[in-house]
Chains A and B, each alone.
Chain A
């Protein structure tokens, strides 16, 4: 089975974000970057399906600056066979990224193309689905359980109040949700082996894109709480505030 998996380098979710001087991007000073956590589910799925099939190839793709190689090597350390970085310095919109990825992946003859359902830095949920459209492949998004038997794909999706079961045939594009698996930690030997695996650099030129980020702001700071009193005596005041001020009851 030949499997492509796409990976985005994102700020560590524990990072305290600071908005840069331009007011529309983050200040990357001192920020630690990690593989997008949803993409880690996709990587784990790719490795596990290849292990199960006993043969095939797994390839990780990323689009970004050269520093993304370090993030990609995490995927190689986990067990992906090789990588291709589409070198692009800027931060283009999702559609431009999808076009570049589709052009590259489209010629690869993949049975399965895996993405995380979204990137935790921009929450766009776009690229995987757009790549499927551009490749004219079926797409199952936000998959929380996935089995492949021969070329028959069965996926589960968590929908409001229940589970939806979807089937289709390979080839297919899948975007992975939490629950699909538990990504493995790379072993220390895996980390050492990763630097010997092929990681190809391919410059790409992206279009200007149709979407522009005009502003980025942090959420307002949380207001301090209010203690209205203690014991049963405080109940009327609390009810009054919940009803009239917070308007939640």
Chain B
């Protein structure tokens, strides 16, 4: 797809020589994932999106490249990369499609990370190498139908029995949920009002009583697997619990990891839209000259390039702070909030610049535009991140 609209190789957007702030390895990693996306994802993504199908056939290639849980240590079969390199991977994947980046975010930051951070040594050795190799696909069950922005209100329960645990509850908007072979599910081991009793559990999806139901009718993230999980008297052994998990802080720390990656991913989507719009503006002739020669399109392009450049600097510094161990969740909120909103605006303006062609799946901007509405809403809505920053500034919680 995309003949005439897309170059065969994506050249990136770097107006401020930000490449010079990256190490040679970081650039090489970025370029490698970029090539992989050009060769493997771009030829199929338009069709997958239209058909509402996740390109599952690409998982082995992603795993072989080393993308899954890439910032976790080598001793568990991961690539052991730094956090800027990890962010650049997310950027390049989302340059292709938010759905494939979501897959990698969930597998790495929401499934592998909690096992790494809260799991026993046995759990880490059992699951992490298999997840890194893509032999297991994971999903993350936190959000419930009535508890989205307020996850600590969850009503999913885990009751301890003589020989293990019994889980009951429903989880919603679960990326990878239909195809997952295992799930990290968060449940209350105590009273439903006791948020401190929230613990993480590793649940094989073939466990009796576990069902994943594909979410139908999505107009966004159509090339991503989104499902609803039902747990009805799911019996688990004693060692299914993540021993070091405890309280809402545990799943929220996973979200901080994922949101960090999203802040980079959104830049990728914005770069794809800007690149498409800039290219189109130079080739599309109207009133006898390229539309790029008109003031209104130049304002659009100037705004996009400026906002992308600002977002690049924001995420890069965030990544350096993450590597130094000084990054705070509030700083992640700022980057997620700013960059996803910025990408939504770029995608919309790019789609408009493309005129009628912009509504076709052959071009990429409208697909990104629709995808980014989900990204705007998940992993802490834009509004919730405003309130997190508001609380940080004033010391007063408005939620």
A: residues with CB less than 8 A from B are: 12, 14, 32, 70, 73-74, 77, 185-189, 191-192, 194-195
B232 within 8 A of A: no
| Nearest residue, chain A, Cβ from B80 | A192
4 shortest interchain CB distances as A-B pairs: A188-B66, A188-B79, A191-B28, A187-B66
A201 CB to nearest B CB, Å:
16
A188 CB to nearest B CB, Å:
4
Could you tell me the distance between the alpha carbons of A17 and B205 in the complex, rounded to whole angstroms? 54
* Size range of the chain B interface in the assembly: 20 to 34
**Of residues 3 to 54 in B, which have CB atoms within 8 Å of A's CB atoms?**
7-9, 11, 24-25, 28-29, 32-33, 35-36
Known contacts A70-B24, A73-B24, A195-B25; A189 and B74 CB within 8 A of each other: yes
**Of residues 65 to 95 in B, which have CB atoms within 8 Å of A's CB atoms?**
65-67, 70, 74, 79-81, 85, 89
**Of residues 175 to 218 in B, which have CB atoms within 8 Å of A's CB atoms?**
none
User: Hey, which chain A residues are within 8 Å of B35, CB to CB?
Assistant: 185
Known contacts A73-B24, A186-B32, A188-B67; A14 and B74 CB within 8 A of each other: no
User: Hey, which chain B residues are within 8 Å of A74, CB to CB?
Assistant: 28
Cross-chain contact B11 with A73 (CB below 8 angstroms): no
Cross-chain contact B36 with A188 (CB below 8 angstroms): no
Known contacts A14-B7, A14-B9, A192-B80; A187 and B24 CB within 8 A of each other: no
User: Hey, which chain B residues are within 8 Å of A194, CB to CB?
Assistant: 25, 28
Could you tell me the distance between the alpha carbons of A187 and B62 in the complex, rounded to whole angstroms? 10
Could you tell me the distance between the alpha carbons of A186 and B28 in the complex, rounded to whole angstroms? 9
B116 CB to nearest A CB, Å:
17
Known contacts A73-B28, A77-B28, A195-B25; A188 and B65 CB within 8 A of each other: yes
Cross-chain contact B65 with A191 (CB below 8 angstroms): no
Could you tell me the distance between the alpha carbons of A194 and B28 in the complex, rounded to whole angstroms? 11
User: Hey, which chain B residues are within 8 Å of A12, CB to CB?
Assistant: 9, 11
Cross-chain contact B64 with A191 (CB below 8 angstroms): no
21 A-B residue pairings within 8 Å (CB atoms):
A12-B9, A14-B8, A14-B9, A14-B11, A185-B32, A185-B35, A185-B36, A185-B65, A186-B32, A187-B64, A187-B65, A187-B79, A188-B70, A189-B79, A191-B25, A191-B28, A191-B32, A192-B25, A194-B25, A194-B28, A195-B24
| Nearest residue, chain A, Cβ from B27 | A70
Could you tell me the distance between the alpha carbons of A186 and B27 in the complex, rounded to whole angstroms? 13
Cross-chain contact B32 with A188 (CB below 8 angstroms): yes
